[in-house]
Structure 1
């Protein structure tokens, strides 16, 4: 029994159908340019990351979109990366570079714990290790970090390590492409010695603002709180109706 003929045009997107029709009738100049994705392009953490100190610890936040140019690779990636129990890092830049360097720092911090009877390393030590590697390989790596955590000596701490290997402790710091949209809001809204609830609300609102403007930021908002009591993780999204909306 012969197989039925299938019209492949039915499986083409409207843009492709218009292109074929234009060629058939001799109007090749009217062919719409098709989007071309370079699949060899490095995966980028075009992102929005925020860390801030509050009275008792630190709050970290990040969106969950990972992009490759204009192509969204993942909508639910986790950019709040654990280094050790008391230190997390927010990554931005080339995803492979940030992941590899974070793995190296994690190895060094685990080695510190082994040599100190399981004691967690100071946050400053982890941040300085990130800075040292970022500076030494500044010509090979494209990555930026915001390191945040809590220890018994200095409490909650936030360290900014941008592209090139500078390190600077700040009461709050941001990274990624979306941060450029909300520096004014953060300058206006942040205040010293905020409560935990105030810091979470500020982080959530700032992330929502950046995600509504930056094409490389989106998905859900992931937030972590680090204090003497440990790490508390939470997520906010439009579906859960607990993430502010700044667009119609």
Structure 2
């Protein structure tokens, strides 16, 4: 007798299984991510934007469980709005990073998410992660590009150079990591505001083995 069964991917946790990156440049920051979302071995979303705004000039890049990461981003977005109203000015990037850190640590047994917080405030651009270098890379694809980032990143890059660096990093990771793919989302933040770009898969740079 045949029994109706749900697809296996319906019982799997939806994960961004991803490549995310944020780097500083003179006057601001650039964040980037791929767009693939998977549940088990199935791709359930090919074009998810994993760069989530926390405030006007503060964004976070999401990886891990899609539901957990989005929930953290929404909570921090709300708390920053309240904080901004209380102090009468835009919040600092450090405040956003602290909120993300506190929530992630408090619920570390329940949540499976990794966020990179970056943005621009009156003290200048900032990319925040545990060791506070001028860049941060995360997600499953980061294993394939850490060497590239360590070797090729340098301080003092222009806005355009930084954007291209992020695109190159994402393209390399998406070519090697089976959990990364789709399109590349880029957000550039400086004192003048934010600029969002989408680079389609067929517009990404190609390298030797492609």
Given the two structures, how large is their TM-score scaled by the length of structure 1? 0.79
Q: Of 86, 97, 107, which aligns to 1:115?
A: 86
* 1:70-118 CA distance string (max 9 Å, x none): 100111100000000010000110111111111111111000111123x
Distance 1:69 1:109 in 2: 34
SS at structure 1 position matched to 2:30? strand
**CA–CA separation in structure 1 for the residues paired with 2:205 and 2:189:** 23
Shift of 1:169: 1.8
CA distance in 2, matches of 1:189, 1:169: 18
The one-character-per-residue Cα deviations of 1:143-185 (angstroms, maximum 9, x if unpaired) are 11110000012x110112xxxxxx3322000110001000110
In the alignment of these two chains, the number of paired residues is: 203
Larger RCO, structure (CA 8 Å, separation 6 or more): 2
Aligned residue in 2 for 1:83: 54
2:206 is aligned to: 245
Which residue of 115, 127, 148 maps to 1:158?
A: 127
Query: Segments of 4+ in structure 1 off by > 4 A?
Result: none
Bigger Rg, which one: 1
Normalising by the residue count of structure 2, what TM-score does the alignment of the two structures yield?
Answer: 0.93
Gaps of 5+ in 1: 1-35, 161-166
Take 1:40 and 1:49, find their aligned partners in 2: how far apart are those partners?
26
Q: 1:233: Cα distance to partner?
A: 0.6
Matched, 1:54 2:17: no
Cα offsets for 1:224-244 (capped at 9, x unmatched): 1000010001111233x3x11
Aligned to 1:147: 117
Q: How does 1:90-105 map to 2 (within 5 A)?
A: 90-105=61-76
The Cα RMSD (Å) is 1.2
User: SS in structure 2 opposite 1:158?
Assistant: strand
Counting only pairs closer than 5 Å after superposition, residues 16-55 of structure 1 correspond to structure 2 as 37-55=8-26
Structure 1 residue 69 displacement after superposition: 1.6
Contact map agreement 2:80 2:91 (CA 8 A) in 1: yes
In structure 2, do the counterparts of structure 1 residues 70 and 225 end up closer, same or farther at CA, with 3 Å as the change threshold? same
Per-residue deviation at 1:40?
1.1
Q: Distance in 1 between matches of 2:134 and 2:37?
A: 27
Deviations 1:116-143 (A, max 9, x none): 23x1100000000100111111111111
Match of 2:154 in 1: 191
